[in-house]
Amino acid sequence: MTPLRRTPLTPDALDSTDRAILNRMQDGLPLVPYPFAALAQDLGLDEDALIARIQAMREIGAITRFGPFYDAEAMGGAFCLCAMAVPATRFDAVMTLVNAHPEVAHNYERTHRLNMWFVLACEKAAQIRQTADRIEREAGLPVLLFPKEHEFFIGFKVTA
């Protein structure tokens, strides 16, 4: 997999048709044998042209992925957002010991007294607390657990 592009494309990298494709295709495709043919008509393109444009946008890094978005929790995994207040002098050492746990899926430094935020991903719910306890012991610092209590439906869309 190519690494995620983290810099903006130049404004002329995409034309208005590309932008219409991006805007439309974030909403989801029909689960039918020829999903692109169904959409191409709406976008005023033929099927091959639509697929070629998606391919090209993937190559320049405008699109990161095409496919089903799975809900990992619905599939049985356990996840929990955690935070720690790590003294600046110990930050790198604590980061190293936290990241060494395979259950730590991602970890961000953030601008707050609670300056280290990571997500634990485990197979079973009980393993979340156990892993957090291990990290607490190793770091000698409290780990705050922020499990999801309610997830709201998201209207997020990147307007291309």
Partner 1 sequence: MTIPDLDRRIIAATTGGLPLTPAPFAEVAGWLGISEDTVIDRMAAMQGAGVIRRVAIAPNHYALGLTANGMSVWDIDDARAIDLGAQVGALSFVSHCYLRPRADGWPYNLFAMIHGHNRDEVEALRTQIATLLGPSCRASDILYSTRILKKTGLRLTEGGL
Task: Map the footprint of partner 1 across residues 64-83, applying CB under 8 A.
Answer: 64-77, 79, 81, 83
Q: Residue 55 interacts with partner 1 (CB under 8 A)?
A: yes
Could you write out the three-class secondary structure of 14-41?
A: CCHHHHHHHHHHCCCCCCCCCHHHHHHH
Q: Residue 152 interacts with partner 1 (CB under 8 A)?
A: yes
Q: Residue 41 interacts with partner 1 (CB under 8 A)?
A: no
Helix (H, G, I), strand (E, B) or coil at 71: coil
Q: Residue 12 interacts with partner 1 (CB under 8 A)?
A: no
Whether 35 and 29 have beta carbons less than 8 Å apart is answered as yes
Q: Give the residue, chosen from 45, 118, 128, 139, that forms a contact with partner 1 under the rule CB under 8 A.
A: 118
The residue among 85 and 126 lying less far from partner 1, judged by its C-beta, is 85
Q: Residue 140 interacts with partner 1 (CB under 8 A)?
A: no
Question: What residue type is 23 in one-letter code?
Answer: N
Q: Give the residue, chosen from 26, 41, 130, 136, that forms a contact with partner 1 under the rule CB under 8 A.
A: 26
- The kind and range of the H/E element at 145 are strand 144-146
Of residues 124, 105, 117, the one with CA closest to residue 146: 117
The residue among 9 and 126 lying less far from partner 1, judged by its C-beta, is 9
